[in-house]
Each structure stands twice: as C-alpha cells, then as structure tokens.
Chain A
Amino acid sequence: MTDLDERIVRALRERAEGAVDTDRLTARAVAGGRARRRRRRIGAGGALGVVVLLGFAAVAAPGPAPGPRWPGAEPAVTVAAPSRADGVPGAAARPDLVGSDPEVLHFAVDPARARWLTWQSVPGVESARLDLGGGRQVVFDLGRTAAAVENIHHEGGTYPDVPAGADAFDGRVQRVAPPGPDGQPGWFLRWQPVPGLYARVHTVAGDDSALRTARSALRLDAAHRCASPLRLGALPSDARLSGCEVNAIGFPDSLDVLLLVTRPGERRMQVRLEYYREISGRRTEGNRTIGGRAAYLYPKGDELELLGFPKAHLTARFGWPLHGFTEADAAVVLGGARVAEDLTRPETWD
C-alpha cells in the first residue's frame, strides 16, 4: 500500500467512524418499510411519487372535489389538483403544443372517474399519475413522438426491455412480465388520439382493467395549469424554466415540487420545494446569506438551501449529474423564489 493509499484509508476511516444506534435504525427501517407496504397495498404509493411543477397559476380546491366517486378510496379531506386553464386548447386541437410549455398540461381527467396524484410537464411529454379508486393507479404519458413517451419511466413501473416503436401505438394492450417472483406484471395501452400525438397508460396490477378505465377518464379537449405553491421570480442569465413536476400523493401530509431550470446545451439545475409535516427544521443557522436570509451550502458544494420554511426544504441543486449552473446562479433563483404562506391550503397558492 502506498503513502497515498494509506492517507486515503486514514481519512475515510476517521470520517466513517461514530456510534450507530442499531436498535433505532432497525425500528425506523421496519416502520418505514411497513408504511411503504401499506401505501403499496392501497395503490397510493410504491412510487415516490413526486412531482411536478410549475403551474404558477395554481389552484386546487379545498374539501372534497365535487362529485367524484372512487369505489374504494375516499379522497383526502383536502385535495390538490392542477387548475383549469380556460382558453387554452387541449391536445386534440393542438397536438403541437404538448410538452412545449412547462406551465401547462394539455389534457384533463373526468373527476368522477379519476383523481390527480401527480402531474408534470417536461420538454416533449406531459404526464400524470391517477387514482382510479379501488386501489387502482395508472400513469399517463402524452407526447409528440413515440420515442419521447417511451423514454419516460416512472418510479414503481415495470417497463419492457425494448421501447415500443410508433407502430405499437395501435390501441392494443402489452403485458410485461414481473421483475421478480413476488411482483405483478406491467400493462401498457398505447394509442394515437390524433395524428402527431402519442398516448400511453401504464399500470402494475394483476390484470389490465385499469387501462381502459383510465383511457375513458382522459379528456384531450381541455387544459390545466400546474398548480404549485412555488414560483420562481428570478432566473440567471440565459436560463429558462423548462419543466415542472408536482407530487401530491401524500397531500396534505407531504408535497413535492420540482422545477427544472435550463440553459442551452443541456445545462440544468433543479429547484425543489419539499414539504413534509414531520420535517423537524432543526437547522436555522446557515453558512451563506441570500437577500438577508440564512442559506446553507451542503458540504459537497452542489446544493444550496434557503432556510426558514417551516416543515419544508427549498433547495437548488446544481452539482453532478447536473451541470452548467453555479452557486451564484442558485442564489439568484432561491432569492427570487416565492413560496405560499400555507403549503397545505391550495387555495392560497397563486
């Protein structure tokens, strides 16, 4: 072993050492695992779910949504959903607009048949995770090309090894074998609603019944805005907002908003608002200041957090595998970010 090798070993050993409370670790891991298993059983969450983004004109109605009927799953007391974008054409009328505006979803769902869990708009593709009731859950993707749709993989999904080509968007159902002996198969329904538009519904279940239910619940003659309690009021030079993802699976207990900021040349930065009612918010003293507010640059130097949001983290991540933005850029974005006063009251999101 060389001197360099030994120095590396010494440094790593010192940084790794420290007591570990094994009993606590075991208890928390088991509790977390059981909670995950429960969520998977009710169909609301094997996936991390998160999501989306940006529709700054947000909305969402407090109280049960009007009229929906879920056979097996009552809606939460407070629900979050993307707001209607009146006057904006749906995908059927303007397929060329799909995936072109991170603030808009060019589709809707029948509230009597499905409930929004997540929604997102990224370049070329718009997506949503929907609760159909009775423990059934699907993810819907809509894009201008088959390749763009097939490139989207959602956590918790079971996808084919070989992406489908454009000719596979023909209304037939595809079954994908489960990844392991305990798993369920993946099911896909792909079709072309109008020329130049590719739609896909995916579920992991014992049968494919949810696919056709979901297809009948989708509406391509209306549009929504991405509801979110986070707005970016400032962007670095040459940068623009390119994507938004909102995850309201756990709402009102938790909510995740992810905004993608890009520059030409695939340079990217992620701005994230993560709310979780169990966040302790212990850190109040930062190592940076943004607009007079405390901020914290993480030790790796690739992520900056603006402090002071109860039970929430507001961060800008610019390190690997992202690139093209700096701590100064992150400070600009966080300094101009506006967060709703009460993250659990969608009616206050503007």
Chain B
Amino acid sequence: MTFEEYVSSRGPALIRLARLLTGDEHRAEDLTQDVLARAYVHWRRIARADRPDVYVRRMLVNANNSWWRRRANRELATADFAERPQRGDLGGETADRDAMWRLVLGLPDRQRAVLVLRYYEDLDDATIAQILDCSPVTVRTHAMRALTHLRERCGLPTTNGSRP
C-alpha cells in the first residue's frame, strides 16, 4: 500500500479520531497532517508493519499527548465543536449528547483516549493497549475510572453493566 493509498482510505477516520482526541476541529486537522507528514518520512518501514494503522494511530495519540504538540497547531482554531450549529433537537437528545461530550472532554487524556478507541473506533482492549503502548489491564483501569466518573456525574449507579 502506498502512502497516498493509505491516506485516501484511512485519512478521514484519522481526522475523526483526532477530533475526539483534541476536542477542536482545526487542531485535529493540524495534528493529523503533522502525524501523516512524519509517517510519510518512515512510510516504507510503517507499511511493512503487521498493522500499519495501529502504528499511525499510536503516533496520533502520542502526538496529542505530547507536550510538544504545539508544532501541530500552526493554524488557529476558528470554530469549536460547541460553536457548530446543531441539527433539530429531538426530545432533548442534542442537549444530552452535548452534556455527555463535555463530560468526556473533561476526562484525563488517557481515559478519554480509551473511551474514544473503545466506543467510537470499536476496538478491543488488546488493540487499544497496542495503540496506547500499555497493557490491557491498564486499558481496563483507565476505562473503569472514566466510566465511574461519568456514572457519578450522570447520577447513575456505580455499576450498571458497562464493560469494565
């Protein structure tokens, strides 16, 4: 697979993942472009990996967590998700999604990354562990803490059947 083929097929998914990791649409674009530019330099090696997409997503998560991620923020964000126009509100669903998003956004970076990879990317804990470069046990710990926090903030019982 060429680099261009990879970006063509996986680029949109990476942008969407970056939107959830950064919480800022423009920063997400900058972050993804910066990570892909770095991937381009090492593409021959990345393409030979068993799962190049895992490797690139790890780069994306690490770049977002990096203290030096400002490099990927050359362009100023001009519109935040909170500022985006909303579609019609069906019985308060929009308000509920907004409230849940704010809670997710307020989680520590690693906890939010676990939730995004599990609930949005629908990845198993072993793959998430590969992306985050930690053990599956650590993944489950992050998930448990994040879900506990969300349950508390939503007024739900501390255990309600969510996958730990």
Contacts and interface: CB of A to CB of B under 8 A. Distances in A.
Contacts of A274: 70, 73
Contacts of B16: 16-18, 20
A28 B76 contact: no
User: DSSP majority for the B interface?
Assistant: helix
A281 B71 CA distance: 15
Interface in B6-43: 7-8, 11-12, 15-17, 19-20, 23-25, 29, 32-34, 36-43
A281 B76 contact: yes
Contact of A16 (B20, B32, B156): B20
B101 A15 contact: yes
Contacts, number: 172
A9 B119 contact: yes
B115 interface: yes
A233 B67 CA distance: 24
A29 B104 contact: no
B133 interface: no
A313 B76 contact: yes
B150 interface: yes
Interface string A135-148: 00000000000000
A18 B29 CA distance: 12
B109 interface: yes
Contacts of B124: none
A34 B78 contact: no
A8 B41 CA distance: 36
A324 to B, nearest CB: 15
Q: Which of B25, B96, B119 has the most CB of A within 10 A?
A: B119
A2 interface: yes
A32 B40 contact: yes
B120 A12 contact: yes
A155 interface: yes
Contacts of B81: 15, 299
A301 B4 CA distance: 36
Contact of A181 (B19, B45, B151): B45
A37 interface: yes
Contacts of B75: 279-280, 282
A40 B41 contact: yes
Nearest to B80: A299
B25 A276 contact: no
A33 interface: yes
B11 A3 contact: no
Contacts of B11: 20, 22, 25-26, 29
A8 B45 contact: no
Contacts of A34: 40
A10 interface: yes
A179 to B, nearest CB: 9
A4 B76 contact: no
Given A4-B147, A13-B120, A30 B34 contact: no
B29 to A, nearest CB: 8
B68 A50 contact: yes
Contacts of A25: 7, 11-12, 15, 29, 32-33, 36
13 contacts: A8-B115, A11-B100, A18-B19, A20-B11, A25-B29, A26-B8, A29-B11, A29-B39, A32-B34, A48-B68, A282-B78, A299-B82, A301-B106
The 3 closest A-B pairs by CB, nearest first: A33-B40, A32-B37, A29-B36
B5 to A, nearest CB: 9
Interface in B61-102: 65, 67-68, 70-71, 73-78, 80-82, 93, 96-98, 100-101
B120 A4 contact: no
A272 interface: yes
